[in-house]
Structure 1
């Protein structure tokens, strides 16, 4: 069994990394570890106030850390476009895109573009961001990676194409599971299309296990449930591993030279909820290529953003 820890990361000097949701939880810990290893980290945060606090904390811990803070609201496709346009104007390389930010099990709401928020933030926002950053990922001299954060809950997910936005019926956990299954389907389909195109970019999915972050608290707090908030806080203390360790699968997926595209990385310990990172098997539904292709097409229609990639299995030169 792997005993990998971030201390084994190769130097990331000369690399540029974008981490979404870098102001707290797993995103903060990942940004800290990338910076400690010498990477230049773009902290893509919805709240620049919280982002500034997080940036100062990392700089205090690691003097000389190379960090840039930039606003990115994944619940607003205009914000996604503005972030990507800014990035492409400022940088000519992107070695790691860490699609990490997310929301979990919240009361139904909608994004600025009218998507159910969990599906809109967790999947649609990252889908559009990846598409808009793909040109700079592809022009990076060294191999680059897209790492998309999912969850073990994806195993309960189904893609309901008849009610993607949960307008007819809403269950917060079913909507979350759908969005997390969408993350894995997207990661795998992206890798297949990149391979078909002969691109030097790989796509990997990961999950953090059960890590103590604010993510678990947002749903109960939004519902005004003091009892559930307290229960989640207790579970974070008793059951969960730290947010720092929850970031290990993402870091492993992003930097380990032995990782191949189209893999699924997570904790290898108790019930895959904690422990050192390693390769795992995702759900049977996550390997349904027809569902992945259909979700890809629907996502392009919903966002109005397309990838300059051939369909998986279709040679780019033959098109």
Structure 2
């Protein structure tokens, strides 16, 4: 009887000692910080919204990332995270110093990815998709060229990002590796199916009409993958003002090449496009999502929905 009581006592003490540890393991979550909603969207899709992850997105849906300034609250969020996911390619200039002094794991999704070199502001005198050759973005070759970080406009690169995020998540959550693989496969298939359908819709538009102009150079990947030719007034920064010479040049080009429409963007400077539309007589075809996914209720809250919404807006304008 004494032995039995001792066994019960030992068993009770062991349970009390180890129970919190086991509970913590079972309920363990990892904290992930993403710079923009696009990355959060991919994260959600590659985990099927796993409950093992807490996500803090620094820049809210619909906000212009060019205007973001990191606060103390956001720095604390990064310090408490297990993983920070950013675009890279100088898209998040605030991250350079923080990353250098950080103890967190960082995933820079454009590292090792082929990125386009595009003309810097006020030198954007080319068409998409007649772009400078691809190159690894770690090697600058020209002082007036920058690397295009707008990978959310690229279905092909979005799939690469999804694979990179999935690989990192499996390191962080090995118990969910099988689920992550399943979710990743489902997501990439969805992208392929949606892109195939969008290209069918675009094929119904005569090739000579698949051209338009935008304010800044954010849709180069989109142009290449969906078969459009796009002229941009300025380079990477959506708040830049073109020189008088550049403005005159783009107005002449739009007239000579019979560009059927120009488009506003949901973020950035609208004056440039309105001026070009007025001077050329070319209609404003609508508003495109360029630097950010759409706010809630916009119909463009995810990468896939953004592509669909942009294609719909473009086709409706160019078919007229």
Normalised by the size of structure 2, how large is the TM-score? Answer: 0.32
Structure having the higher Rg: 2
TM-score using structure 1 length: 0.32
